[in-house]
Amino acid sequence: MASTFSFGAARISCISADVLSLIFIESVPDNIMSDDEYLIFPRPSLHQSPLILGRVCRLWREISLATPRLWCRIQLGDMRSTRDAYYSPLYCRDLERDSLTLQEWLRRSGNCPLSIGICYDECHGSEIDFIQKTMEIAILYIHRWKHFTTHLPTALFSWNVIFPMLEMAKPDLEGLHLIADDAFSEEWDWCPRYFRPLHLIPSMADSTCMIVTGHHNLRTLILTSAVVNLEWFILCVTHCHLLEKIEVIGDNAPSILSTAKPELNETHTLLHLTALDLSSVDDPIGPFLDVITCPVLEYLSVVQDLDPPDDDHITSWPHLGQFLQRSRPPLKRLDLENIPMALKDFRYSFTQVPSLELLSLESMKVPKKLFYILILSPGLDHPLDLLPKLKSLTVRDNSVPTYGDRLTSLVLSRWNCKCMREPTVSIAFVSRGGSGTYDACWTIEVFA
């Protein structure tokens, strides 16, 4: 009878449990970045670590169950990224099973900091209860959150629970991403399906317990499932000094907090912030820029969903220029949408950011003279040139007619034909008054 003895198996069986544990930890798939710029963690699958380890032999199962670091990251839900590199089977939708999986997973995680993702493309009304149950299980471990992400079709959190979450999760929490397809509305605040502070801890049922205090290690804050008023925003930036990315929906409605309001004429410096995405639903977003200074900012998006003035006259919108003048950041990309800026606002703002490479203007009354002041002077490094490093300019839904012949000087002043492998310049205009697209050919280089 042929022997089934394996020298490889014998060598593996000689490895100590501590070493095997370290090997197992390295076998767990890495986190990946989603299309919306948040982390996706490993999905539970019988075909990959850690679950597959318990199917090899009893020893491996015992070691894997006794290794908490194998169970500290988990991604639930059917939402997948185009960058999703995990070769696990397609997700089989079972929301009731998800809550049980999360409960067992976290039970095995020991005292390790946790990275939890709960992301669903869609959910029916009858499934909300299952999602809430999964959330409640995650909240039981809130004191160990390191990264927590929800991406849901409907919002389950409002700002009156976000502050308790920040307070209870410190100091391990580095990333809090609460994303919803339908932005939170204040009129839904007392809808039965929304979490309350008392769901986190009974003593937080009173709004006086919702103030952020102490030191926090939060790096990324993405909250599109709730609107934040200016006072709440100030509390966040005041106590979360290490923030590197912020994405919020602003609202200037009066605060429901019962404490004294902070001084709104102060500015708060965020020394680590590199990406800022501010938008609003029905209120001006400018005051949010007025209270912060961001000296290392590289990406800025400012959007407000307000009806434009009836006449064509735009007075001024100084918030952007003042923010950039105060911060002097190494800004690389600037996206503006529906911001009522006059020519002097554009000029003042662009003077502060000579490092800008990508500029997008959408649904704005872009002055015709803007394209003239962006023309580069002959020669390089002229002191009066605006945005000398600009490589991409996109104008969409411009309410002021823009014709290609008025852009010729701008285009020619910034292009120089040389042998290049890839295009480096793209300037596109799409507006009601006309359109022109200038795509860099294979032999175009921008002056910089």
d(CA 67, CA 25): 8
Determine which helix (DSSP H) or strand (DSSP E) holds 104, and give its type and residue range: helix 95-107
Task: Kindly state whether residue 216 falls inside one of the protein's structural domains.
Answer: yes
**Which residues contact residue 166 at a Cβ distance below 8 angstroms, ignoring those fewer than 6 apart?**
173, 176, 212, 216, 218, 236, 239, 240
Beta bridge partners of residue 394, listed in sequence order: 360, 428
- Cα pseudo-dihedral 103, 106, 107, 112, rounded to 10: -170
Pairing of strands 392-398, 415-417: unpaired
pLDDT confidence of residue 446: 32
CATH number of the domain where residue 244 is located: 3.80.10
414 touches 391 (CB < 8 A): no
What number is the average pLDDT over the span 157-175? Answer: 80
Does residue 3 sit within a domain?
no
Check: CB of residue 60 under 8 Å from CB of residue 53. yes
Does 20 fall in a domain?
A: no
Query: Does a structural domain hold residue 245?
Result: yes
Structural domain containing residue 262: 92-414
Contact 133, 103 (CB under 8 A): no
- pLDDT computed for residue 13 by the predictor: 64
The dihedral sign for the CA sequence 200, 202, 208, 213: negative
Cβ atoms < 10 Å from Cβ of 386: 19
* Domains identified in the chain, total number: 1
Residue 427 lies in a domain: no
220 lies in some domain = yes
- Confirm whether 408 is domain-assigned: yes
At 28-50, the pLDDT tens digits run 888 888 777 778 888 888 777 88
Range from 95-99, 134-138, 212-216, 356-360 carrying the lowest mean pLDDT: 212-216
pLDDT digits (tens, 9 = 90+) for 260-319: 444 556 889 999 999 999 998 777 899 999 999 999 999 999 998 877 665 556 678 999
d(CA 47, CA 45): 5
What is the b/e burial string over 222-245, where b = at least 16 CB atoms within 10 angstroms of the residue's CB?
bbbbbbbbbbbbbbbbebbbebbb
**DSSP notation for 211-259:** ---S-----EEEEEEEEEEHHHHHHHHHH-TT--EEEEEEE-SPP---S
The torsion defined by the Cα of 66, 70, 73 and 77, in degrees rounded to 10, comes to: -90
Task: Count how many residues are written for the chain.
Answer: 448
b/e per residue, 351-381, with b = 16+ CB within 10 A?
A: ebbeebbbbbbbbbbbbeebbebbbbeeeee
Least confident range of 44-58, 96-110, 185-199, 316-330: 185-199
Residue type, 224: T
Q: CA geometry: angle at 438 spanning 437 and 439, to 5°?
A: 110
Structure tokens at 259: 């404490």
Whether 373 is covered by a domain: the verdict is: yes
Mean pLDDT of the chain: 77
